[in-house]
């Protein structure tokens, strides 16, 4: 009986891990499935050891490998230099601006002018916008419109770029009030600058971004207003 209870508990745990992996955002599923696979390997090894078919040294080595795999992300975060180098390699070293709201975090590549974003809250929390289909984005837009106007406007900016010329999404709202609150840290992120940015750096970043996003050039009202707001705050 105890053995049956143990097997049932193991099966239930693996089922929960499988459900968790399937529910994860697409770009995180691979990692979750790896964790599930490692869990299955570890359980198998332990069961073989209990049945006397594997030496305890094999169990210890397997446990160590699983532990190292689980600790890898934490070790990477503890090594800022390595993480920075990997980040530069993955982004090609290009400068990026970040605009964050209650529900979304959006990045703008200065070279290409392309927007990329991630959902911070709600049903799709953790999802990348690029991994979401049209119906999911429509559902997210409705959620943003109910919860946070800034998030709705920011998502509209992304939709206008991803689906140019299409009109079946909700009409965009007016750009934000230039007097709304923005911290210095947020302003630097919007322009893609470091804390030691000079007046010349601020003006240059603003000019580069406006060339890509100004409404008169087919850009976006909301993002253009945020960029102007960031410049005004930093030069004040």
The 10s digit of each residue's pLDDT in 175-192 is 555 445 788 999 999 899
What b/e readout covers 136-150, taking b as 16+ CB neighbours within 10 angstroms? ebeebbebbbeebeb
Q: How many residues does the chain have?
A: 236
C-alpha distances in angstroms, 29 versus 21, 136, 145, 180, 233?
6, 18, 28, 38, 40
Listed as ranges, residues in the chain with pLDDT below 70 are: 1-3, 6-7, 10, 14, 22-24, 27-29, 36, 38, 42-43, 45-94, 166-180, 214-219
43 class by beta-carbon count within 10 Å (0-12 exposed, 13-18 middle, 19+ buried)? middle
With residue 158 as reference, give the H or E element that holds it: helix 149-162
Q: What is the pLDDT of residue 50?
A: 63
Residue of 164, 149, 119, 120 whose CA lies nearest to 137: 119
- Report phi then psi at 127, rounded to 5: -80, 145
Q: How far apart are CA 161 and CA 166, in angstroms?
A: 10
pLDDT of residue 52: 66
Residue 118, strand partner residues: 105, 128
pTM: 0.60
Contact 152, 144 (CB under 8 A): yes
Please state, in angstroms and rounded to a whole number, the distance separating the CA atoms of residues 63 and 131: 34
Six-digit token string for 19: 């459900």
């Amino acid at each position: 009986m105890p053995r049956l209870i143990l097997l049932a508990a193991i099966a239930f745990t693996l089922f929960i891990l499988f459900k968790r992996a399937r529910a994860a955002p697409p770009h995180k599923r691979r990692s979750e499935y790896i964790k599930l696979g490692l869990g299955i390997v570890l359980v198998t090894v332990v069961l073989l050891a209990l049945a006397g078919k594997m030496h305890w040294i094999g169990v210890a080595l397997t446990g160590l490998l699983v532990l190292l795999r689980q600790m890898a992300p934490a070790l990477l975060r503890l090594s800022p230099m390595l993480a920075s180098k990997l980040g530069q390699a993955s982004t090609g070293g290009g400068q990026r601006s970040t605009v964050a709201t209650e529900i979304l975090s959006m990045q703008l590549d200065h070279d290409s002018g392309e927007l990329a974003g991630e959902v911070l809250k709600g049903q799709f929390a953790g999802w990348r916008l690029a991994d979401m289909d049209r119906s999911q984005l429509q559902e997210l837009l409705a959620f943003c419109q109910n919860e946070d106007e800034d998030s709705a406007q920011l998502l509209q900016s992304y939709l206008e770029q991803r689906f140019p010329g299409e009109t079946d999404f909700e009409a965009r709202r007016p750009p934000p009030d230039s007097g709304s609150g923005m911290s210095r840290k947020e302003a630097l992120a919007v322009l893609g600058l470091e804390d030691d940015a000079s007046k010349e750096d601020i003006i240059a970043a603003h000019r580069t971004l406006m060339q890509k996003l100004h409404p008169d050039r087919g850009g976006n009202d909301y993002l253009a207003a945020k960029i102007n707001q960031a410049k005004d705050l930093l030069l004040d």
